[in-house]
Amino acid sequence: MRLISRKTLLLFFLPGAIFMGAFLIYPIITMVIDSFYDIGITGEKTFIGLENYIRAFTAGGFLKQLKNTVVYILLAVGMETIIGLLFALFFELNYRGSKVIRSLMMAPLMIAPLVAGLTWKLMMSSSFGIVNELLTRVGILANSSDILWLADAKWSLIACCIADIWLTTPFMMLMTLAGLQVLDSSMLEAAKIDGASMFQQIILIKLPNIKPVLLTALSVRIIDAARTFDIIWAMTEGGPNSSSETISIIIYKTLARYNQVGYASAMAVIFIAALVVFTLVFMQSLWNPKKKMN
Amino acid sequence: MKKKISVGKNIGIALSVILTAFWLFPYIYVVCCSFKKGSEVIAVPPKFFPKVFSIENFQGLFARMDAAQYFVNSLSAAVISTVIALILGSLAAYAIQRSGAKLSVFLVVLVLCLKMIPTSSIVVPIYELICNLGLYDTKIALIIVYAAINMPFVMWTMLSFYEGIPTTLDEAAYVDGASSFQTFRKVILPICTPGLATAFIFTLFLAWNDFLVALLLTSTKAKTFTVGLAGFLSAYNLDLGPMCAGAFVFSFPVMIISLAAQKYIVSGMTAGAVKG
């Protein structure tokens, strides 16, 4: 029996579609068109074909930002996954008060990325920042101004990653915990009886079983990390010397600051296309829409 | 043997407590800073706890920006946009999930793709559109844009909730002569309250935490709290105390709500991910 006719489907989808059409699809269409033009500050358009796209991939284009984005994703998501996994294994233990501890651990989960960025900016300040003060006290740094987290091109991207890791590790932990909780406990019992060590239980039973959850969490995080804007903007605005500039930052700067609408649109189109392809490829292997619909 | 396990467990407990304290450190530090005296926030070397308990920074915050107004702007834009996104999104998602048409598969994929779009790349065309509509610096602009960009998220969340509801319910309602809309409104939605609650909380936080859209679309009247906070970015060191106070005022309600509604947050994050 067909519960929803094609007409009803369209009718129900329409109100939402108007919103999404105006503020999601229309902007993208505008950008695709703009990306083939050179647009002056006064708004006059000259058709230049693929020149904006070529410019993006040549020296002085967005290759540096592309590299930064990849480094950011690898570093932030990599660390989040490792720390989140380790935390989940600890937090899996049940004892009196374990629920309270788990809740507290998840408290930063919903904090605004902007606030996270501001917090870490304050903490990583070179003179009155508490991070360097603590590092000096435990003897890692000789002097509290040895690492200029936000002003040194070597450290700025890493500093942004640290704020990201702080903000989103609880998410990874939560996903892993959820995966561990649906694990069939009889499997672990059997392994224990067979004499598997704690370490073997983790590697041979827990990890393989939470793989699907972990992959989903990874795909969500990779896309979010690629899109990160607020944290980096709050901490460094992409500087110094564009050392922490990622693709979202350069697109925004090119649009809002340098007013090069055509070029920025071309970069945005490439970026969105890359994210969409990643999503579809990733989803295809995990999830099949047809199978799900039936 | 038993003793050995309990020692291991105790170490695990101790570690998890220490890790939690370590992880909450940045947030507690900001809270401590907001209750310090302004000069103490930037004292060298920095101290963790305030020497004297002071509300100087909160006074500074309210003196420096219209915090109450920004707070109200953030709140009203977030709540109203969330309600719109929730109503329209849940309706559309219901139709997509229950229709067997080929079109619905396409729509699912479309929604998923729209969910991935980075706001930073489309925000300028949105800005132009809002200016053309004459809505610049109005709450309406924020409300409709938030409703639009968060709608794919609502739909995606609701899709996975609808899936868990057997279609026999719809069929029964259909046999009793209910229209599709009546079935949705009277039969499906009431069962979906947990799903709606989850989608509501997430969308609310997405809108509340937004910075970029509000940065571009508002200047004075409709300015939100995040944009106000970002004003401290270019500020002098002396303003860092009020900035901490602002960060505290802004994120404290979020922390409380996320602790109180943790059940929904957990089910929202893991929706669709944990299913055998």
In A, which residues are within 8 Å of B20 by CB distance? Answer: 101, 104-105
pLDDT band at B237 (very low <50, low <70, confident <90, very high): low
Which residue did the predictor score with more confidence, B24 or A59? B24
- Owner of token pair 């939560």: A174
Asked if the Cβ–Cβ distance from A293 to B16 is below 8 Å, we say no
Contact A163, B27 (CB under 8 A): no
φ, ψ for residue A45 (rounded to 5)?
-110, 135
Query: What pLDDT was estimated at residue A2?
Result: 66
Q: Which residues 6+ apart lie within 8 Å of A77 measured at CB?
A: A218, A221, A222, A225
| Distance between B138 CA and the closest CA of chain A, angstroms | 16
Per-domain residue ranges for chain A? Answer: 27-58+260-294, 63-244
Give the model's pLDDT for residue A49. 84
Least confidently predicted of A27-41, A74-88, A92-106, A267-281 = A92-106
pLDDT (tens digit, 9 = 90+) per residue, A87-107? 888 888 777 778 888 888 888
Convert chain B into a string of H (helix), E (strand) and C (coil): CHHHHHHHHHHHHHHHHHHHHHHHHHHHHHHHHHCCCHHHHCCCCCCCCCCCCCCHHHHHHHHHCCHHHHHHHHHHHHHHHHHHHHHHHHHHHHHHHHCCCHHHHHHHHHHHHHHHCCHHHHHHHHHHHHHHCCCCCCHHHHHHHHHHHHHHHHHHHHHHHHHCCCHHHHHHHHHCCCCHHHHHHHHHHHHCHHHHHHHHHHHHHHHHHCCHHHHHHCCCCCCCHHHHHHCCCCCCHHHHHHHHHHHHHHHHHHHHHHHHCHHHHHHHHHCCCCCC
- Residue A209: the pLDDT is 81
pLDDT tens for B188-211 read: 889 888 889 989 998 999 999 999
Range scoring the smallest mean pLDDT among A42-56, B78-92, B140-154: A42-56
Instruction: For residues A247-276, give the mean pLDDT.
Output: 90
CB B109 within 8 A of CB A30: no
Mean pLDDT of A178-188: 80
Mean pLDDT score, A200-204: 81
Which residues in chain B have Cβ-Cβ distances shorter than 8 Å to A256?
Answer: 124, 216
Dist. CA B132–CA B143, nearest whole Å: 16
Query: Does A6 contact B101 at a Cβ distance shorter than 8 Å?
Result: yes
Q: How confident is the model at residue B15 (pLDDT cuts 50, 70, 90)?
A: confident
Distance, CA of A176 to CA of A87 (rounded, Å): 9
DSSP state of A21: I
Cross-chain residue pair A13–B95, CB shorter than 8 Å: yes
Q: What is the DSSP letter of A148?
A: -
- Looking at residue B43, what is its pLDDT? 75
Count CB neighbours of B77 within 10 A.
28
**Whole-number pLDDT of residue A286:** 64
Higher pLDDT, B134 or A136: B134
Chain A residue with Cα closest to B251: A111
- For B211, phi then psi, to 5°, come to -125, -45
Q: Which residues of B touch A172 (CB under 8 A)?
A: none
CATH dotted code for B65-230 = 1.10.3720.10
Average pLDDT in the B164-188 region?
88
pLDDT at B275 (0 to 100): 44
Over 50: is that where the pLDDT of B230 sits? yes
**Highest mean predicted confidence (pLDDT) among A44-53, A73-82, B98-107, B113-122:** A73-82
pLDDT above 70 for B2: no
The ipTM (two decimal places) reads 0.89
CB contact under 8 A, B180 and A4: yes
Mean pLDDT (chain A, rounded):
86
Give me the residue from B16, B240, B276 closest to A90, CB to CB: B16
Rounded to a whole number of angstroms, the distance from the CA of B92 to the nearest CA of chain A is 4
**Predicted local distance difference test score (pLDDT) of residue A247:** 93
User: What are the domain boundaries of chain B?
Assistant: 2-57, 65-230
Q: Domain A63-244 sits in which CATH superfamily?
A: MetI-like (1.10.3720.10)
CB contact (8 A) between residue A13 and residue B96: yes
Considering the entire predicted model, what is its pTM? 0.89
pLDDT at A120: 93
Instruction: State residue B4's pLDDT score.
Output: 55
% of chain B residues with pLDDT over 70: 95
Interface contact flag, A119 B27, Cβ < 8 Å: yes
> Residue B1 — very low, low, confident or very high, per pLDDT cuts 50/70/90?
very low
pLDDT at B3: 52
Of the listed ranges A156-165, A188-197, B30-39, B263-272, the one predicted with least confidence:
B263-272
pLDDT in tens, A152-176: 889 999 999 999 999 999 999 988 8
**pLDDT at position B151 over 90:** yes
